[in-house]
Amino acid sequence: MKRLIYDDLLKWKNEKLNIKPLIVLGVRQCGKTYIIDEFCRKEYKNYKYVNLLEDKEIVTLYNSNMNSTEKYNRLKILLNFDFEKEDSIVFFDEIQESEQLISELKYFCEKHNNVRIVCAGSLLGIKLKRFNASFPVGKIKMLNMYPMSFEEFLYAMDQYLLVNLIYECFEKNKKIGKEVHEKALNLYRIYLITGGMPESINNMVSINADYIKYDVNIIKDIVDSYFKDMNKYVLNDNEALKINRVYNSLPSQLTNISKKFQYSNIHKDAREREYATAIDWLEANNMILRCKCINNPDIPLEGFVNEETFKLYLSDIGILNNLLKIRLEDILNDNVSLYKGVIAENYVATELLVNGYNLYYWKNNATAEIDFLIYNNDGIIPIEVKANNNTQSKSLKIYMQKYNPKYGIRISTKEFGYDNKNKIKSIPLYATFAIKNK
């Protein structure tokens, strides 16, 4: 399947100066191993795959007291692979199993700069955050990988022509046409079922989008596997319990009247000091997405963050709908009442993140709130998300009048268009992927 991160991997391959080992971070089962393996096989003549869950002798080697050079020479013998041979690459999978090897990536960078090394692992984010050894700061390159975006879903469904047309209509504010618009909305709703996990999308592709045959247990099994693996990477059972509580509270958190994460929604006596670490754990492992509140939308946005106020989204829209236990028919028939807006907003959050945007939202001291703020070549741009074609928005009007951005974006089920008077660019939900971070 076509993955957009492949282009980033190619950029890393084509770097000629200051070559650094690459670590790819991402939530479990988002396709890291598959795409890195494909990249290594296609782009290099000599390739060695190493799985540290299986190759325990490598872990033992790097736990030894040998110096870096001795370890390096022994590693080549154990793998029977010459790293320094031209057009060669090594892929260390499940690298979280050896903190010492991660630390030794500094040695590879400094002493064997011609060696190409790429790494990935399960729940690697929290491993790096709780690193005990000497972390190779400045000596590695990191890439974030996410579940498949709606654009990648369309590629998997062989809808290349539709993707091209969406980009064209986005750039020219040109209507896409009623029949194509309805087709794209239907595909968007199918994506709400599958989400971006490759196994889930593969299943939908294999049944030609006949949702009745879709295996609803795929996503459930993925979520279950997250928490089965959790015990390897938590401090104790109490931390595991808190992580579970936070994660399971997220669907209800998204419907808060206050429009922010509330610890009291975990349970009535919950406090920040008890659960902040659990949130950090989920965030480090890319299982949740934090959207930061901005009261004063100015440059740089990060400098105006209200640290005490934020929203949390699920990293995958299919997982959200699975946790909500919504029937597939209700998703396809757009019959999810209150949660329709929550689902659309979470979907847009994941699409913006894939496109390289940090997640921010704006809230004034009264009742006005803008779902997302993005910062690009046009400045700070407000984005309002609507789950249907009712696009009336008091908050967006207030924001536009107060801050006078170059334009605003309204994402809904309506067609493409541009309102010159109010400077509002209308984008269908299915076209969110076209909002590139240029």
Q: For each successive 10 residues of the chain (438 residues), what is the average pLDDT?
A: 95 89 93 97 97 95 95 94 92 94 93 91 80 82 95 98 98 96 96 96 94 92 84 80 89 78 84 88 91 94 92 94 88 81 94 96 86 95 90 87 96 96 96 90
pLDDT, position 257: 67
Name the helix (H) or strand (E) containing 398: helix 394-403
pLDDT, position 438: 66
Judge contact between 287 and 226, C-beta under 8 A. yes
Region label for 411, one of left (φ > 0), alpha (ψ between -120 and 50) or beta (otherwise): beta
At 392, the amino acid letter reads: Q
pLDDT, position 55: 93
Task: Give the span between the Cα atoms of 62 and 41, in whole angstroms.
Answer: 26
pTM: 0.93
- Could you count the other beta carbons within 10 Å of the beta carbon of residue 7? 8
pLDDT digits (tens, 9 = 90+) for 132-173: 777 888 899 999 999 999 999 999 999 999 999 999 999 999
pLDDT, position 401: 93
Radius of gyration of the chain (CA): 23
Task: Give the span between the Cα atoms of 164 and 377, in whole angstroms.
Answer: 23
Q: For domain 5-145, give the CATH number.
A: 3.40.50.300
Among candidate residues 186, 196, 184, the one with its CA nearest the CA of residue 149: 196
pLDDT, position 389: 80
Q: For the chain, give every domain's residue range.
A: 5-145, 211-434
pLDDT, position 419: 94
First to last CA, the chain: 25
Q: Sign of torsion, CA 164 166 168 170?
A: negative
At 244, the amino acid letter reads: N
**Which tokens hold the place of 230?**
């959790």
Task: Give the span between the Cα atoms of 19 and 15, in whole angstroms.
Answer: 6
Residue 18, CA distances (Å) to 86, 111, 386 in order:
17, 12, 45
Task: Give the torsion through C-alpha atoms of 424, 428, 430, 435, to 10 deg.
Answer: -10
Task: Give the span between the Cα atoms of 331 and 190, in whole angstroms.
Answer: 8
Task: Give the span between the Cα atoms of 239 and 251, in whole angstroms.
Answer: 20
pLDDT, position 2: 93
Among candidate residues 93, 90, 166, 98, the one with its CA nearest the CA of residue 127: 98
pLDDT, position 367: 77
**Which tokens hold the place of 386?**
């609507």
